[in-house]
Structure 1
Amino acid sequence: MSSIEMSSERSKSIDEPTSTTTDSARDYSTNKCMRILCTRSLLCSAIYFALAYFVQGITDIASGFVNLPLQTVLKDKLQLSPSQMGTFFFSCTITWSIKPLYGILSDFVPICGYHRLVYLLITTVLNLCAWIALYFAPTEYNYLLIFCVLAAFSLAFNDVLIDALMISLGRPLALIGTLQGIQQTSAKLASTISQIPAGILASSSSTALQYNNQTINNHTMKILRNHQNSNKYIFLIASLCPIILFFATLIAVRERRRKFNKNNFVQTWSVLSRIFQYKRFWIITIFLFVYSASPQLKTALFYYYRDILQFDPFYVSILNTIYNGCGILSALIYLSVFSHHPTKRVLRIAIVMRLFAIASYLFATDKITSIFVAIFTGFCSEITNLALLHLAAKSCPRNIEGTLFALFVSCINFGVATGDWLGSIIYEYLGFIALIIIAIAWIGTTILATCHIGEHGIGSTLDDDDDDESNDKYHYYDVVEKRIDTVENEELNDKDANSSTT
């Protein structure tokens, strides 16, 4: 059987490798990471996905490079309460909750014949414009909200397109879990290395704000104003990331150009409409939202560190660095261990780990204990996150990967935004301990729902009904697969030549 025929076989599970008969394919299937490293086209794609998520880790408003200085400005300069800050970030991250609209637009409406490439370039330029506008705009609530929403929107749209490319490439090669692990590791690495510089800028801005009402000379006032505006530099630094991603997209993404085909549109819409008839789709969707909507500690923890434990922004950045650094180890552990295990089992383990992680915040009472808590919670973080993403990716049938995966991830994002907003309200009115107790009780009940989640998502059910018309559809992996087939055939020919000479 040729490698092209091998790649077109349907596997029983979306992330299970197809059966092969070539020695090269068997060698690759034993170690998915080595398969990526040994195939130049796969390695190029994996590097691009890692770079895209590295940029996302830097520019994400909710957890990236700009998050801590932005929180400091909202709290110290604009004097927002925990619930008000929660509302601000909820308004920004709501753009991540309508990702299916971006997926539908890119799946159904090609630009110049491209479903991914042109959209990627446009959203990258929008992201660049948002950061430049934040640098020049006054530091006022309305300006911050408008341009932060624009930055979040462009990044969310870009994320939908990247994930669609990743699933199209990873599913037929049984590499979804591996590629997701690479992406999340890269995002965590970006968040880790950026926290200390962000903490320095946020700390200098916070120090300057403390002297606003004091009588000081003109020279000192000029210096403090420079420090007070230091948070602006973080927007300028963030604007470099979309520039890099723009040129990387031009180099790495090779998408087949297609004319708009009414039959393809009808076929794709038919698959999308049939999804809503499956009970398993609704079970997965509701589970992802309810689990993610548990009261979050993110905004509340920032106020707890600043007001109760009296940590300055720089020390908070150190804790964030430790947390994200351990998150990298967590993603690597998932990549090497958990990504090959049944989804249901990993999901249950992840839920239990998150319960212990939330409970550990009860022991964060000073600087030393906070470090140990950051280590433990960071270690648990990405295993939980990747378990949810892997479940979502495995539940996507072919041809509508962008739309359906965006729908699942939107449930997660909307749940997280809702949970952070609920957490900030609970913290403001009931306190930190009550928030932890409610969060533990909420998450503990969701483990019962895992009994109703199948191993193969809804993708295998729909794939069984599909005929072999997928060659007429658009797939990013069409181009990459041809490169892989060429490389594997060349390797096989070399082996045959060597064996014949010996």
Structure 2
Amino acid sequence: MSNPDRDEALPFSKMGLLLALGWGLTNIAYAIYDLPLKFVLKDELHLDAQQISKFFALGVFSNYVKPLAGILTDSVPLFGTRRRWYLILSLFFCGIGWLILGSVPRNYTTMLAVFATTYTMVMIISTTFGGVMVETAQRFAAAGRLTAQRIGMFRLGALAGGPLGGFLAKFPLLLTLSLSATLHFTLIPIVWFWLKEPQKATLNKDLWREAGQQLKGLVQSKVVLAAAGMIFLIAASPGFGTPLFFFQTNTLGLSKQFLGSLTLIGAAFGLLTATAYHKFCQKGSMRTLLIASIVIHALGTLFYLFYKTPGAAIAITALEGMTQTLAILPVYDLAARGTPKGSEALGYSIMMSVWNLTNSLSDWIGSTLFTKYSFDFSHLVWLNASTTALVLLVIPFLPKALMAKTDGNGLACDSF
């Protein structure tokens, strides 16, 4: 889909369906393996919260260099196409990687090496789909709607995969990862038949010079810099994702199946929120969306202070599903609207790299405070909520024209 005006370009409805299937099936696969892999690391390898957080921070290292994949899929064609063959090959090798991870000996180094290699394919899949999404969003002035769909499919993936992952955590890891592999293999024929590209793309011999120019354009974009700053502040506070897992299992004694059910609850309310955003982004201005989402998310995080019983866990998880979705939707929307044309995958991948790197460091810092320095869980909640509120300081620096626009009525990104 290198040229949105070509004859082979699919209409918006079909492109939306292709992206929905891509985001949906891959995120079901990721939701399925999350709990089983964490329990293997905790119960079989006997890792603490800091060590598990470090495993995932190192294992997803490729997420921190997503812009390199963005440059490749924007500028280096595979078999004459920019997106199609990147997706087909990475989906295949990702599926193979999950099968290998489920079969290797249970030791830290081996599992980390295989997980990191497999996750590199995950990163390429995500980056390539991101490039397709941004091209489609800019062609149809639908950044808000496609961003809502993307996050909605993430939540739908957790909705389907979370409870299944909690159930599969009682069985050998290979069973879980075989299902994750199957979902990736299933996407291959879908991409083959739906994402048609004329095999005319040629190698850009001035790749790095063009990449430098693209990076210069991105750095000079007030929208991109502001979006990156907001993503950093949202994710930068000491996180409590892994400490929460230990708090749930060791302190509250919640079962694997119950944790899977919590994932379902959070995903369901997140999906409802994304659906509402899909409608509201066409009516409310970007400024209204950003301010409301940040305030609601910061206040919602404080409810984790009452995370004391299974009943409270259900209610707070539902609330978090809404507030977390609200926090990230407008920022991703902003990133999609503000990415300069010609740098779709690169610009979007930079936003995601900032999010992924900061989020991993955040969880590792929070886990370190929790494990090594005996920080109380409630302290991490206060730190997280207060840092999230700082995002409001970035909003006045965004271009006023862009902030006043609604989805479907956007300005060209190169206007800023």
TM-score, length-normalised on structure 2?
Answer: 0.90
> Is residue 132 of structure 2 the alignment partner of residue 165 of structure 1?
yes
Q: How many residues are paired up?
A: 400
Partner of 1:394: 337
Contact 2:97 2:117 in 1 (8 A): yes
| Equivalent position amino acid for 1:442 in 2 | T
Q: State how far apart, in whole Å, the 1-side matches of 2:128 and 2:10 are.
A: 22
CA deviation after TM superposition for structure 1 residue 186, in Å: 1.9
Partner of 2:239: 296
Q: State how far apart, in whole Å, the 1-side matches of 2:117 and 2:204 are.
A: 33
Match of 1:242 among 184, 187, 203: 184
Query: Does 183-192 or 264-273 show the bigger shift?
Result: 264-273
- Mapping for residues 109-188 of structure 1, pairs under 5 Å: 109-188=76-155
Partner of 1:53: 23
Match of 1:306 among 246, 249, 257: 249
Residues 309, 70 of structure 1: alpha-carbon distance in 2 compared, 3 angstrom cutoff: same
Residues 94-147 of structure 1: CA distance to partner in whole angstroms, max 9, x if unpaired? Answer: 222211010011112112221111111111112011111012212222222122
Partner of 2:369: 426
Residues 340-368 of structure 1: CA distance to partner in whole angstroms, max 9, x if unpaired? Answer: 42222211111111112210111111111
CA deviation after TM superposition for structure 1 residue 150, in Å: 2.0
Give the match's secondary structure for 1:260: coil
Partner of 2:200: 258
Contact 1:344 1:454 in 2 (8 A): no
Identity fraction in percent: 22
Contact 1:55 1:242 in 2 (8 A): yes
Contact 2:218 2:339 in 1 (8 A): no
Contact 2:155 2:268 in 1 (8 A): yes
Q: Which runs of 5+ in 1 are unaligned?
A: 1-6, 9-38, 205-226, 466-502
CA deviation after TM superposition for structure 1 residue 285, in Å: 2.4
Q: State how far apart, in whole Å, the 2-side matches of 1:41 and 1:106 are.
A: 22
Partner of 1:107: 74
Q: State how far apart, in whole Å, the 2-side matches of 1:287 and 1:379 are.
A: 19
| Equivalent position amino acid for 1:55 in 2 | L
Match of 1:403 among 337, 346, 355: 346
Give the match's secondary structure for 1:398: coil
Give the match's secondary structure for 2:293: helix
| Equivalent position amino acid for 1:417 in 2 | S
Q: State how far apart, in whole Å, the 2-side matches of 1:49 and 1:280 are.
A: 24
Residues 291, 42 of structure 1: alpha-carbon distance in 2 compared, 3 angstrom cutoff: same
Q: State how far apart, in whole Å, the 2-side matches of 1:353 and 1:284 are.
A: 18
Q: State how far apart, in whole Å, the 1-side matches of 2:18 and 2:84 are.
A: 13
Q: State how far apart, in whole Å, the 1-side matches of 2:32 and 2:288 are.
A: 34
Give the match's secondary structure for 1:167: helix
| Equivalent position amino acid for 1:49 in 2 | L
Residues 303-360 of structure 1: CA distance to partner in whole angstroms, max 9, x if unpaired? Answer: 1101111112111111111111111111111111135422222111111111122101
Residues 331, 278 of structure 1: alpha-carbon distance in 2 compared, 3 angstrom cutoff: closer
Match of 1:42 among 12, 16, 21: 12
CA deviation after TM superposition for structure 1 residue 295, in Å: 2.0
Q: State how far apart, in whole Å, the 1-side matches of 2:191 and 2:132 are.
A: 12
Partner of 1:454: 399
| Equivalent position amino acid for 1:319 in 2 | L
Partner of 1:492: none
Partner of 1:320: 263
Residues 262, 160 of structure 1: alpha-carbon distance in 2 compared, 3 angstrom cutoff: closer
Q: State how far apart, in whole Å, the 2-side matches of 1:335 and 1:448 are.
A: 26
Q: State how far apart, in whole Å, the 1-side matches of 2:186 and 2:307 are.
A: 39
Partner of 2:39: 72
Contact 2:145 2:281 in 1 (8 A): no
Partner of 2:407: none
Residues 262, 58 of structure 1: alpha-carbon distance in 2 compared, 3 angstrom cutoff: closer
